[in-house]
Each structure stands twice: as C-alpha cells, then as structure tokens.
Amino acid sequence: MKAMQGTFISFEGPDGAGKTSVLGVIKTRLQAQLGDDLVVTREPGGKGSKIAEAIRDVVLDPAYPDMDVRTEALLYAAARRQHILDTIQPALAAHKVVLSDRYLDSSVAYQGGGRQLGVQTILELNQFATQGLVPDATIYLDIDPEIGLQRIQTTRTDEINRLDQEALAFHQRVTQAYRQLAQAEPQRIKVIDANQPFDQVVAAAWQAVEQVLTEDK
C-alpha cells in the first residue's frame, strides 16, 4: 500500500550519512513553500508521539548493552506503529507532505542485516506494525560505514547512542543491506552519494524531493 492522500518521503542511510543535516536544509526550503502542510518527523520516535518517543529513549539508551536483538526489533516496530497512528497517518489524511528521518528500511538494514535477523523476518514483523504503509519515495544517502562513523566521532556534538557503539562489522552489514534494498527497489529508493561535500549532497537530495513532489501533483 502506498500513502493514499498526502506524500510520504523517508530519508535513510547508515549512521553519519548526513540525513539529519540534509533534512534540516530541505525542511527550511520546503516550509517556505508549504507552511503547515509540511510535517518533518523521525524514527525511532516521532513528532508529537509521546509513546514512540518514550520507546526511543529505551531502545537507544547505552545503559542497556544486553538488550536482546529480538526485543530491539520489536521495540522499533512498536515505536513505528505508534508513530504511524499519531503522526504519519493523520498528516497524510490531511493531504500533507511527511518527511521522516528513518522509517521501515532502517529496521530491514539494522535488524535484518546488522543484527542478522534476516530481511524476511523483519518485513513480516513490520507488516503487522505498518499494515503495509510504504513511503512514496525514499532518499537513501549512501556512504561507506568507515566514513559515516568517523563523522560521528569527530564532528557530532549530541550523544552517541547504543547502536553507534557497535563494531565496524555491524555497520558494514547495515550498509550492505541498504545497498541490496536500493538495488531491489530502484523505483522507490533514490540513491545519493553521501561521500560528496555537504552542499552537493543537499543539491542532489533537493532535486530528488522536488521531482517526487512534482510527479505527485
């Protein structure tokens, strides 16, 4: 099922790819055009979703290094369920544009690939949570995991979360899973080389978003 009324675009990529920074620029530009018809949100958690944000606090907390990988997958799916109900569906029903910093593909890449639970298992688990809600388009910022992790360690000022602390091999599996997804769904997933300088990444992402919004009208 595609988003029925509004337009739903997710931003995906490994840690440190630049999603949040790029989305910040795109939000400012789009807000000038769309005003209240633009909703920018994120996962895990979600704008205006207290329950999803509370799950975020638990699932990302470095105080829980022993969290079981299936517990982790269930928590991400549970947060997503609540995020859809509280934030995404109401906005789409009101014909708004929803931009989400991460969505379902993150679970496929991190829990399916990184945690090695398997893509099919994660898709089935999330079918229950999403009831088939798939973004109209996904902007995937592709980066070598070594570079993404280096960016986080050297330049980021906010805290390092539980998954950021995983070994390089975990992040390599995440990137591999993202790349496989992008190959399997070229229509939905627009790949952008996030190894480029920031302004070039923004320009490519902006072009992709504009194209999706124009096609949709």
Does residue 42 touch ligand ATP according to CB under 6 A?
no
Binding of ligand ATP by 152 (CB under 6 A)? yes
Per CB under 6 A, does 113 bind ligand ATP? no
Q: Are 202 and 25 in contact (CB under 8 A)?
A: yes
Residue with smallest beta-carbon separation from ligand LXEULUCI = 110
Is 164 annotated in some ligand binding site? no
Do the annotations mark residue 20 as ligand-binding? yes
- In degrees and rounded to multiples of 5, residue 58 shows phi and psi of -75, -50
- Give the footprint of ligand LXEULUCI on this chain (CB under 6 A): 15, 43-44, 60, 76, 102, 106-107, 110-111, 161, 163-164
Is the torsion defined by CA of 10, 14, 17, 21 positive or negative? positive
Q: State the DSSP string of 8-49.
A: EEEEE-STTSSHHHHHHHHHHHHHHHHGGGEEEEESSS-TT-
Instruction: Kindly state whether residue 151 participates in binding ligand ATP, applying the rule CB under 6 A.
Output: yes
**Residue 197, annotated as binding a ligand:** no
Amino acid at 140: Y
Pick the binder of ligand ATP from 10, 12, 15, 142 (CB under 6 A). Answer: 15
Instruction: Give yes or no for a contact between 130 and 104, defined as CB atoms under 8 angstroms apart.
Output: yes
- Among the listed ranges 9-17, 28-36, 47-55, 132-140, the one in contact with ligand ATP (CB under 6 A) is 9-17
Is residue 118 part of an annotated ligand binding site? no
Of residues 51 and 152, the one with the C-beta less far from ligand ATP: 152
Taking CB under 6 A as the rule, does residue 198 contact ligand ATP? Answer: yes
Residue 64 neighbours by CB under 8 Å, 6+ apart = 58, 162
* Residue 25 touches ligand ATP, criterion: CB under 6 A: no
